């Protein structure tokens, strides 16, 4: 401050001398001595209107820079002092707060009855919760009504009936208020039975046909089966699983270069054919055994002349565009899926299976392998009772370019909606995609006529549980006089748990017969375990 005073003192003197004025005042004449007139002079200094520092700065640029430097240093010094004081004060207050919090926590832990701390946790959905929810929301009557609706007529792929059904499914999904519902159509190559040259199964001796086992329904076939003829002995291979063939090998039953006959169940048609091909079989006949699927008139079930459709492509997607989607008018490499079988496959009825099994000889099948075909002893083969008699089968399916109609419905997640609503965009890593085909080649064969009748209540699960995804697949069996639901798969998935619950198989018929429970088994052939319980009700 002394420096500033010394700098300002010359300026004050200069301004004082420059601003000094003389004031003359007229004095009144004295009556006694009028000749004496004096002028009183006063010196008055006017106050300055301009700041002294500003004046000095304007006068001396060097002083201006020096003063600005001093001002900047002083300001910086004041800021640092204030910052240090604030920091020290804040540290002291934080330390005291932490000590108070620890004391409060100690006090609360000592006296738990005074306070209770509620920590919200993310709710998880387990199977018991899902089972209760499904029982509450699923409408059995609506499921049956939907199945009857779509089972009134056959609707093979590419047919006009399939177009009508796709519209019906689209409207159903829209009525359930899903977030997004859309359709998409593609041309794909699909196999169909050849009516001019139907598939066949017969008994031959040399080059002569001894007995033609007429297929009751020429529209029943195994899609994607290899084409041609196959002739050989006949081997009963139970369900056609890999462990069944290992058991046959242990019993010295030859499978190679022979035709195998297997029962429906435990595994898919595609897996049965793939395993048979692996062990050297040349053909597969697949039939429904009364042990697995009851038959009329012995119980509520199928007719003895009923056979079942199925496909034998072990892969996914279009087998003629492996690794690519089936976009219209797109050129693909001339390759086919490696999962297509190289051997023949044909479904047959239990009536034809009985005729074939009764002609077998050889070792008797293990007790647990024996089914309920009437008057049948279940020999393993491969030889037949009549010397020189062999089984021959032929598959002559045609490939046709067919328009298929896809219907999509999506439910957006609360935390990760994903991009599944846009067909051209891939789904997010946490998107759950559940699909099922909708076509039914014939009203008397096993086909998944519908799997969308449970969509009505599925959104409730997604709405209340962010990471829960529930979907139901229903496979149905339709006949001329009654409808049968073969099985229903319900797959609950949670964010951190993958639990599969019990699955109920309901068989609904128009006949009045007492209800009964048929069988219970566990399918462990896939990565997840599904428990199937078949319950038959009138």
What is the reported pLDDT for 390? 96
In this structure, the strands spanning 259-263 and 234-236 are parallel
Residue 423 scores a pLDDT above 60:
no
Task: Give the residue, 203 or 123, on which the prediction is more confident.
Answer: 203
Mean pLDDT, range 16-27, rounded to an integer: 47
Structure tokens at 322: 């492996």
DSSP 27: P
Report residue 134: phi and psi, to 5°: -65, -40
Helices 61-110 & 52-59, crossing angle to 10 degrees? 130
Lowest mean pLDDT among 106-110, 183-187, 362-366, 447-451: 447-451
User: How confident is residue 417, by pLDDT bands cut at 50, 70 and 90?
Assistant: low
The predicted model gives 510-522 an average pLDDT of 33
Q: Which residue has the higher pLDDT, 60 or 86?
A: 86
* Cα-only R_g, the chain: 47
Q: Tell me what pLDDT residue 137 has.
A: 81
292 to 39, 350, 370, 496: CA distances (angstroms): 143, 11, 11, 35
Distance CA 407, CA 200 (A): 35
**For residue 228, what pLDDT is reported?**
95
| pLDDT tier, 454 (very low <50, low <70, confident <90, very high otherwise) | very low
In the predicted structure, residue 407 carries a pLDDT above the cut 60: yes
Whole-number average pLDDT of the chain: 70
The model carries a pTM of 0.56
Is the separation of the CB atoms in 432 and 417 below 8 Å? Answer: no
pLDDT of residue 120: 60
Q: Would you state the pLDDT for residue 10?
A: 53
189 or 47: which carries more pLDDT confidence?
A: 189
Q: Residue 261: its pLDDT value, please?
A: 97
pLDDT of residue 98: 62
pLDDT at position 212, please? 93
* Range name among 48-62, 180-194, 349-363 with the lowest pLDDT average: 48-62
Paired residues of 154 in beta bridges: none
Give the residue, 270 or 432, on which the prediction is more confident.
270
**Tell me, what's the pLDDT at 197?**
92
**How confident is the model over 474-488, as pLDDT tens digits?**
333 333 223 333 333
pLDDT for residue 52 is more than 50: yes
pLDDT at 431 over 50: yes
| Helix/strand number for the chain, H first, E second | 10, 20
pLDDT mean over 193-215: 92
Dihedral of CA atoms 98, 100, 106, 111 in degrees, nearest 10, equals -140
Phi first, then psi, for residue 136 (nearest 5°) are -75, -40
Range 17-25 average pLDDT: 47
Distances (CA, A) of 131 to 126, 128, 451, 473, 502: 9, 5, 18, 16, 9
Share of the chain above pLDDT 90, in %: 29
Tens digits of residue pLDDT in 1-20: 555 455 445 545 544 444 44
User: Is residue 286 over pLDDT 90?
Assistant: yes
Question: CB neighbours of 141 closer than 8 A, spacing ≥ 6?
Answer: none
- pLDDT computed for residue 404 by the predictor: 87
Cβ atoms of 245 and 255 within 8 Å: the answer is: yes
């Amino acid at each position: 401050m002394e420096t500033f005073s010394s700098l300002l003192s010359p300026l004050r003197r200069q301004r004082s001398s420059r601003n000094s004025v003389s004031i003359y005042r007229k004095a009144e004449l004295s009556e006694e001595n009028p000749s004496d007139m004096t002028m009183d002079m006063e010196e008055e200094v006017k106050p300055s209107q301009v700041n002294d520092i500003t004046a000095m700065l304007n006068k001396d640029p060097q002083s201006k820079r020096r003063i600005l430097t001093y001002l900047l240093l002083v300001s910086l010094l004041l800021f640092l002092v204030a910052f240090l004081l604030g920091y020290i004060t804040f540290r002291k207050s934080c330390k005291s707060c932490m000590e108070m919090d620890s004391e409060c926590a100690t006090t609360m832990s000592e006296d738990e009855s005074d306070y209770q701390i509620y920590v919200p946790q993310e709710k998880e959905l387990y199977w018991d919760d899902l089972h209760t929810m499904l029982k509450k929301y699923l409408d059995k009557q609506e499921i049956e009504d939907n199945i009857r609706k779509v089972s009134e007529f056959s609707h093979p792929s590419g047919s006009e009936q399939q177009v009508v059904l796709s519209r019906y499914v689209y409207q159903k999904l829209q009525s359930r208020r899903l977030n997004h519902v859309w359709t998409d159509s593609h041309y794909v190559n699909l196999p169909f039975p050849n009516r001019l040259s139907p598939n066949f199964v017969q008994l031959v001796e040399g080059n002569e046909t001894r007995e033609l086992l007429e297929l009751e329904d020429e529209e029943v076939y195994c899609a994607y089966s290899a084409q041609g003829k196959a002739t050989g002995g006949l081997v009963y291979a139970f369900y056609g699983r890999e462990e069944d063939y290992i058991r046959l090998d242990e019993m010295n039953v030859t499978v190679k270069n022979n035709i195998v006959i297997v029962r429906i169940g435990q595994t898919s048609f595609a897996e049965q054919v793939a395993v048979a091909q692996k062990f050297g079989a040349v053909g597969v006949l697949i039939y429904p055994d009364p042990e697995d699927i009851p038959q009329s008139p012995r119980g509520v079930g199928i007719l003895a002349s009923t056979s079942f459709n199925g496909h034998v492509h072990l892969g996914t997607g279009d087998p003629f565009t492996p690794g690519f989607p089936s976009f219209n008018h797109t050129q693909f490499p001339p390759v086919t899926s490696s999962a297509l079988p190289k051997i023949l496959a044909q479904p047959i009825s239990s009536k034809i299976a009985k005729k074939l099994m009764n002609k077998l000889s050889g070792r008797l099948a293990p007790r647990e392998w024996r089914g309920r075909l009437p008057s049948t002893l279940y020999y393993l083969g491969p030889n037949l009772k009549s010397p020189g008699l062999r089984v021959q089968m032929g598959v002559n399916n045609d490939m046709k370019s067919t328009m298929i109609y896809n219907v999509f419905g999506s439910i957006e997640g609360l935390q990760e909606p994903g991009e599944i609503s846009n067909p051209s965009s891939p789904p997010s890593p946490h998107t759950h995609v559940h699909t099922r085909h909708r076509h039914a080649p014939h009203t008397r064969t096993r086909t998944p006529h519908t799997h969308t009748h449970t969509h009505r209540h599925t959104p409730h699960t997604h709405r209340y549980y962010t990471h829960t995804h529930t979907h139901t697949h229903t496979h149905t069996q339709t006949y001329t006089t009654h409808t049968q639901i073969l099985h229903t798969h319900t797959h609950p998935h949670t964010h951190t748990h993958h639990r599969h619950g019990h699955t109920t198989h309901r068989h609904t018929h128009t006949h009045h017969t007492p209800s009964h429970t048929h069988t219970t088994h566990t399918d462990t052939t896939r990565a997840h375990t599904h428990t199937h319980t078949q319950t038959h009700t009138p």
